[in-house]
Amino acid sequence: MMGYIKPQEMPAHAMTDLITFAALRGEVLLDNDRVLAQQFVLPPGGSTGEQAHPTDQLLVFIRGGVLTSSGRSTLWKEGRVQWRAAENRSDAPMVNSGSSAIEMVCVSLKGPRGVASNPAWGHLNYPNIPGEDLLENDRVIVQRFNVAPGQWEGVHGHHPHTLYIHIKGGQWAARSKSEPERASAKYSDTGTVGWMPAIDISEGHESGNIGTEPIDLVWVQLRQ
């Protein structure tokens, strides 16, 4: 992991004006040359309005709840993900039929589809923590990890073009061959999104949870 690493942010451009939910305005959490990540909060009784898919998108539920659409209600739990392909141009509105706000992070992928630039860029491997495979297609690999208090991931590398999303935040520390253990300067809040630079496994990098509560983390690996 990483909470101490700042995203490689790029200036916002016209893509921040794309309409994902007609009745909701998103807060930009990360905008670079590969992705736009926005937070959407749907209050109880609120509607998303018509849903558009202007580009391939990954929807991640930070705080779940019950969504009702076209007369059918569905429970979306924290950490669930949904792929929204660009060719599926629109969906019916969704209404929050529960009693608490629903929080979602929508990751919009930039650039046209193509052949994976490096098929060797695959799943993230924590030696000490088994991951849960949530989604895999020609554009992304999505995994989920739960890091218990006091637990370290084990030495691992990071492929280029990856981002992380905290389903439940916490306090991280990191260490490597060149740097002794040090705590992150900032607590990683629930819903935090960041961009991870590539790290070769030879660097001996690993992070650990030095807080008192488990950390729940989703990793998204771009495949092109």
Tens-digit pLDDT profile for residues 132-169: 999 999 999 999 999 999 999 999 999 999 999 999 99
Whether 105 and 175 map to the same domain: the answer is no
Cα gap 176→171, rounded to integer Å: 18
What's the whole-number mean pLDDT along residues 88-116?
87
Question: Same structural domain for residues 140 and 215?
Answer: yes
Q: Is residue 159 part of a domain?
A: yes
What is the domain extent for residue 94?
14-109
- Check residue 6 and give its pLDDT: 34
Confidence grade of residue 115 (pLDDT, cut at 50, 70, 90)? low
Confidence of residue 172 (pLDDT cuts 50, 70, 90): very high
pLDDT the model gives residue 2? 45
Both 137 and 206 in one domain: the answer is yes
Give residue 118's pLDDT band: very low, low, confident or very high (50, 70, 90). Answer: low
Do 101 and 188 sit in the same domain of this protein? no
Strand partners, 125: none
The domain boundary residue, chosen from 74, 109, 144: 109
In a domain, 83, yes or no: yes
Give yes or no: residues 96 and 145 share one domain.
no
**Structural domain contains residue 62:** yes
- Using the 8-state DSSP alphabet, how is residue 150 labeled? T
- Whether residue 8 is contained in a domain is answered as no
Do the domain assignments include residue 121?
no
Residue 120 lies in a domain: no
Domain finish residue from 109, 140, 170: 109
73 lies in the same domain as 138: no
Whether residues 21 and 103 share a domain: the answer is yes
pLDDT in tens, 40-52: 999 999 999 999 8
Q: Are 90 and 203 in contact (CB under 8 A)?
A: no
Last residue of a domain, one of 109, 143, 161: 109
Do 160 and 195 share a domain, yes or no? yes
Q: What percent of the chain has pLDDT over 70?
A: 88
CA torsion 89-39-223-31 (nearest 10°) is 100
Q: Identify the CATH number of the domain in which residue 34 sits.
A: 2.60.120.10
Q: What integer is the mean pLDDT of 5-28?
A: 67
Residues 152 and 77 in one domain: no
Same domain, 157 and 83: no
- Has residue 5 got a pLDDT over 80? no
22 neighbors 52 (Cβ within 8 angstroms) = yes
pLDDT of residue 116: 56
What does pLDDT average to over the chain?
90
In terms of pLDDT, which residue wins out, 208 or 13? 208
Closest CA to 4 of 204, 149, 164, 151: 164
Number of compact structural domains in the chain:
2
- pTM attached to this predicted model: 0.90
Range with the largest mean pLDDT of 89-103, 104-118, 151-165: 151-165
Q: What is the end-to-end Cα distance of the chain in Å, rounded?
A: 22
For residue range 204-219, list pLDDT tens digits in order: 999 999 999 999 999 9
Whether 7 is in a domain gets the answer no
- Burial of residue 37 (CB within 10 Å: 0-12, 13-18, 19+) is buried
Q: Does residue 89 belong to any structural domain of this protein?
A: yes
Residues 102 and 141 in one domain: no
pLDDT of res. 48: 97
Which pLDDT does position 212 carry in this prediction? 97
